[in-house]
Amino acid sequence: MDYVYYTLKMANGAATSTMIYRLPDGAFIPLDPANGHYREHLEWIKAGNVAHEFSSPDDARAHHSAGA
Amino acid sequence: MATTITSLGNKMPLALTLGGLGAAITASNGGIFYSTASVGALLAGTATANQILQSGASAAPTWSTATYPATTTINQLLYSSAANVIGGLATANSGTLVTSSTGVPSILALGAQQSLVGIASGTPAVAYIPGLNRVLNGDFQVWQRGAGGSASFAVSASTTVYTADRWQVSVGASTATTVAQTAGATSGSYLCKVQRNSGQTGTAVMYLCTSLTRDMCVGAAGNVVTLSFQAAAGINFSPTSGNITVTVYSGTGSTDISGRNGAFTGTASPISSTQAITTTLTSYSFTSSTLGSTVTQLAVQFSWTPVGTAGTSDWVEFTNVQLEVSANQTPFQQRTFVNELLECQRFYYKTFLYGTAPVQNAGVGTGEIAGYVSIAAATTNFMPNIRFPIQMLAAPTITTYSPAAATAQIYNESASAAFTATTVFHSTATDQVVYGTGSAGGTVGQAIGLHITADVDVT
């Protein structure tokens, strides 16, 4: 399956979090080098792809659906 | 001489103190002279050969009732082979003394890694000391990704997917495949059946494999490992001669690998063999060469090359896969379902009931994370944090599922309305936090729910 990755930067009051959001399966990937999906995302970036940044998965899905 | 006897006069028989016997002795063939407290005496000879002379303490000696061998054999123990018969017990190398149910002794030889096992009303027997099985779910008990015990996966052509926990299947083009748990011959035993679907024409190599994390490999470096398993094939299993390739890979990397595509470093194949699989479930065992002293990674792989168009029974099934640090195959280490499930949940966890395959809209009350609306209307609400049953290998990848809609959103079960923007705020090896934007009409206190899967396995 060909995946596309997005960066989700989220804020809840003073708390912030960054996750990688993978489409089309909608998986949330933590920034943990021990997580193999995160390593696959790094390989995807290394291959020249760009993980666009959004603040919600809905926005990322809309971006993905638009084929942007 | 005659003069001397005359001079002794009435001193006959000559006393012991004068060099005589002090008594009249009757000869006995084979008899033994001895002394009482005052005179000489004769222990009559015995008609039984091989009896031995025994002390009578301060009384007359006697012949033993038991007979003894005239010669002995090196390393034999002497024992009563029959009443009053002493004989040699045949020896054996590297053995131990055991007795039968009637007390008859013998020496039982013990091989490497064998131990003694008591048998009720029988002679103790040898058995291999069970090894520690490094493979998780080697008996295919656990299928969290599917519908538990009735799990069946439709594997599309040209894909690699996890099926049974810790086991991934990889197939090539035109090789749509079904992977399912099947019942074994005995209660509670299972197999993993991999079937190229009837009519499929793909002939690329098919794989079933599992990998070990580095901590599961500790103790293997510098030693030999033995892989054992049971397998059977369908009557249409198409590979030439029914052959599969059995491989154990080793690596020296510092990363936990995953399946056959893992990040091996310094890959070697300490086991690489071809094995013909028959239609009868049969046990197989392969022992490796000595692993390198820096090995940190191991993986087990079964592969086969289908031929022609698949018939209706182009399948092979496996069970009791065991990889142990041992030069010998030992009995399969049977773990309980709960223990196996917990070990597997280090890599994959779902909030769904075990028998429910993860899916959107599984229904309310199906084990979802349950919470309540804390802030009304379309505002941010957090689901309760849940902690995983066991600390996972790494911070897992989280996928969300609505319990009552075809979305991946938190669901307001009281208002029958889906949230929007459901987001995993964080994921660690021990827990995860999800929040979302409430439905417009949501009010404080309404019940909300969400299913998740947590996964660190990489295909």
Q: What ipTM does the predicted assembly reach?
A: 0.92
Pick the closest to residue B400 from B449, B336, B446 (CA basis). Answer: B449
Q: Count other C-beta atoms under 10 Å from residue B406's C-beta.
A: 11
Q: For A3-55, what is each residue's pLDDT tens digit?
A: 999 999 988 777 888 999 999 999 999 999 889 899 999 999 999 999 999 98
- Its CATH class, for the domain covering B348-455, is mainly beta
3-state SS of chain A: helix, strand, coil percent to 5? Answer: 30, 35, 35
Q: What is the pLDDT of residue B2?
A: 46
Q: Where in chain B is the domain with CATH 2.60.120.260?
A: 148-344
Which H or E run includes B13? none
Task: Return the DSSP state at B78.
Answer: E
- Does position B259 have pLDDT exceeding 70, yes or no? no
Pick the closest to residue B140 from B342, B356, B341, B315 (CA basis). Answer: B341
Instruction: Grade residue B374 by pLDDT with cuts at 50, 70 and 90.
Output: very high
Q: What is the pLDDT of residue A53?
A: 94
Q: Mean pLDDT of all residues in chain B?
A: 93
Query: Measured between alpha carbons, how far apart are the two ends of chain B, in Å?
Result: 116
- Does position B6 have pLDDT exceeding 90, yes or no? no
Which H or E run includes B61? strand B59-67
CB atoms B422 and A27 under 8 Å: no
Task: Retrieve residue B57's tokens.
Answer: 């303490």
Residues of chain B neighbouring A36 (CB-CB closer than 8 A):
256, 258, 394, 456-458
Q: What is the pLDDT of residue B224?
A: 93
CB atoms B380 and A30 under 8 Å: no
Range list of β-strands (E), B308-408: 315-324, 348-350, 369-372, 380-382, 386-387, 397-401
> In terms of pLDDT, which residue wins out, A18 or B178?
B178
Query: Measured between alpha carbons, how far apart are the two ends of chain A, in Å?
Result: 18
Range list of β-strands (E), B129-267: 152-155, 160-162, 168-170, 177-183, 190-196, 206-212, 226-233, 243-251
Task: Retrieve residue B74's tokens.
Answer: 């090196």
User: Is the minimum CB–CB distance between A23 and chain B shorter than 8 Å?
Assistant: no
Cα(B136)–Cα(B322) distance, rounded to whole angstroms? 9
Q: For B286-319, what is each residue's pLDDT tens digit?
A: 999 999 999 999 999 999 999 999 999 999 999 9
Q: For B415-439, what is each residue's pLDDT tens digit?
A: 999 999 999 999 999 999 999 999 9
Q: What is the pLDDT of residue B8?
A: 60
Cα(B15)–Cα(B20) distance, rounded to whole angstroms? 5
Q: Where in chain B is the domain with CATH 2.60.40?
A: 348-455
Q: What is the DSSP string of B182-214?
A: EE-SSTT-EEEEEEEPTT----S-EEEEEEE-G
* Homologous superfamily assigned to B148-344: Galactose-binding domain-like (2.60.120.260)
CB atoms B456 and A39 under 8 Å: no
In this complex, the residue of B159, B380, B421 whose CB is nearest that of residue A12 is B380
Q: For B109-167, what is each residue's pLDDT tens digit?
A: 998 778 888 888 899 988 877 778 999 999 999 999 999 888 899 999 999 999 999 99
| Residue B277 contacts residue B237 (beta carbons within 8 Å) | yes
CB atoms B398 and A28 under 8 Å: yes
State the smallest CA–CA distance between residue B424 and chain A in angstroms.
6
Interface contacts A/B by beta carbons within 8 Å: 73
In this complex, the residue of A8, A17, A28 whose CB is nearest that of residue B397 is A28
